[in-house]
Structure 1
Amino acid sequence: MNRRTKIVVLGSALLLTAGAASAATASDEPPRQRETATASDAPPREREAAALTGTAKLYRSAGDDITFSFDAHLAAKDTADPMKATGTFEFSHYLKDFGARAKVKVDCLVTGGKVAVVSGVITESDLPGAEGKRVGVTVHDLGHHDRLGYSWASTGRPGEGNEPPKCVSSAPYEKVKKGTGDFRVVPWQPKL
């Protein structure tokens, strides 16, 4: 053997011997506990069953100031029952000296793909007769071109018209004002 080959063989033998000795020593020692937990040590977080979040203003050529905000969730453990959804949503509509706002407690959330239908009962409002009435809203999450619809388009304004059942609204026919749509829909995937 030439000198270069002898050096490579000897070096490889030394590395193998050192590796085997380290493995044997490591197996004889009790495992050490880590002093700090890392993110990978945490149990994997379960994906929620459905969600609708975000805020946007609607486009109106007359300049109406209409805003919708959502924070609605269906926990993974409640996948089979969309009426166990939690959270709130708010809406307001102002034009010159006229307007009103409402805060709603969620009572149902169903999503499919990028579309969500959420309903709830109005808990606070300056719209006469609206408190205690159910309303529904539909959102189509299209990035910066989101769309929205609401139950009172066909049932009459909250407090004056008919109430929809849980998780019922209209098609998302309204356009979101450019630059304001950040709705996010987490699709519901029930076990069928």
Structure 2
Amino acid sequence: MNRRTKIVVLGSALLLTAGAAASATASDAPRQREAAALTGTAELYRSAGDDITFTFDAHLAAKDKDDPLKATGTFEWSHYLGDNGGWAKAKVDCLVTGGKVAVVSGVVTDTNLPGSKGTRVGITVHDLGRHDRLGYSWATTEDLGPKDLPKCVSSAPFEKVKKGTGDFTVVPWNPPL
């Protein structure tokens, strides 16, 4: 092989190796973590045997870390005792987390509860591993509460999650101060 061919082959090999290394480095680069999140499903404990389930898929993107009102996602719940009860699904409009506690609010988009569609509700979750707790804005009202509930408002997490069902995960929000 003549000298010029050797140089071209060696140069091509070096370029291919550098390109592959750069590609691997780019794909191995750590993704920026989201600013906050609340995910998971759990059933609540009630001594009367109520079947109550809450599910969350709420996120605040890293690019929106300064504005919890830009949170996205959904949450839903159902509450039945025998044949009586109902369910609802809400679109997230705010998510604030601190440590292992999250407050999420949203507007009900789908439900079988008469007059509840369009109502804003808030839920608080305390992520305690297998002993998670939960509270909700309608805790002291007969229905889902006022339609003018402010965003990210809820109650203390007073409900206990049924043993073996809690898998809520809270990603703490660390806004720049």
The TM tier, using the shorter chain, reads: 0.7 to 0.9
Paired residue type of 2:165: T
Q: Which amino acid aligns with 1:33?
A: L
Matches within 5 A, 1:26-45: 30=11, 31-34=14-17, 37-38=23-24, 40-42=25-27, 43-45=29-31
The equivalent position to 1:182 in structure 2, one of 149, 161, 167, is 167
Q: Give ranges in structure 1 of 5+ residues lacking alignment.
A: 1-28
| 98-107 or 148-157: bigger deviation | 148-157
Match of 1:121 among 107, 113, 119: 107
Matched letter for residue 51 of structure 1: A
Please give the TM-score of this superposition, normalised by the length of structure 2.
Answer: 0.87
Q: Name the residue aligned to 1:18.
A: none
Instruction: Give structure 1 regions of 4+ aligned residues with deviation exceeding 6 angstroms.
Output: none
1:47 counterpart SS class: coil
Answer yes or no: is the 8 Å Cα contact 1:71–1:88 preserved in 2.
yes
* Deviations 1:6-53 (CA, angstroms, capped at 9, x unpaired): xxxxxxxxxxxxxxxxxxxxxxx5433247543x43243111000000
- CA distance in 2: counterparts of 1:156 and 1:95, whole angstroms: 16
Residue pairs, 1:56-75, within 5 angstroms: 56-75=42-61
Q: Can you give the 5+ residue segments of structure 2 that lack an aligned partner in the other structure?
A: 1-9
What displacement does 1:155 show? 4.2
Q: How does 1:132-151 map to 2 (within 5 A)?
A: 132-151=118-137
Asked whether 1:77 is paired with 2:63, we answer: yes
In 1, the alpha carbon distance for the partners of 2:141 and 2:94 equals 18
SS in 2 for 1:121: strand
Is 1:116–1:139's contact at 8 Å kept on the other side of the alignment? yes
Matched, 1:96 2:82: yes
**2: CA distance, partners of 1:156 / 1:119:** 19
TM-score by length of 1: 0.80
Q: Is the 8 A contact 2:38 2:56 kept in 1?
A: yes
User: Whole-Å Cα distance in 1 between the matches of residues 142 and 135 of structure 2?
Assistant: 13
The separation in 2 between residues aligned to 1:112 and 1:33, in whole angstroms, is 47
Q: Distance in 2 between matches of 1:127 and 1:155?
A: 15
| Secondary structure, aligned partner of 1:110 | strand
Distance 1:168 1:189 in 2: 19
C-alpha offsets along residues 119-177 of structure 1, whole Å, 9 cap, x if unaligned?
Answer: 0000000000010000000000000000000000034422xx32421000000000000
Does structure 2 retain, via aligned residues, the 8 Å contact 1:114–1:187? yes
Q: What's the % identity of the aligned pairs?
A: 71
Equivalences, count = 161
Whether contact under 8 Å (1:154, 1:170) holds in the other structure is no
Once the two structures are TM-superposed, the CA of residue 72 in structure 1 deviates from its matched residue by: 0.1
Alpha-carbon distance in structure 2 between the residues aligned to 1:190 and 1:154: 31
The residue number in structure 2 matching 1:171 is 156
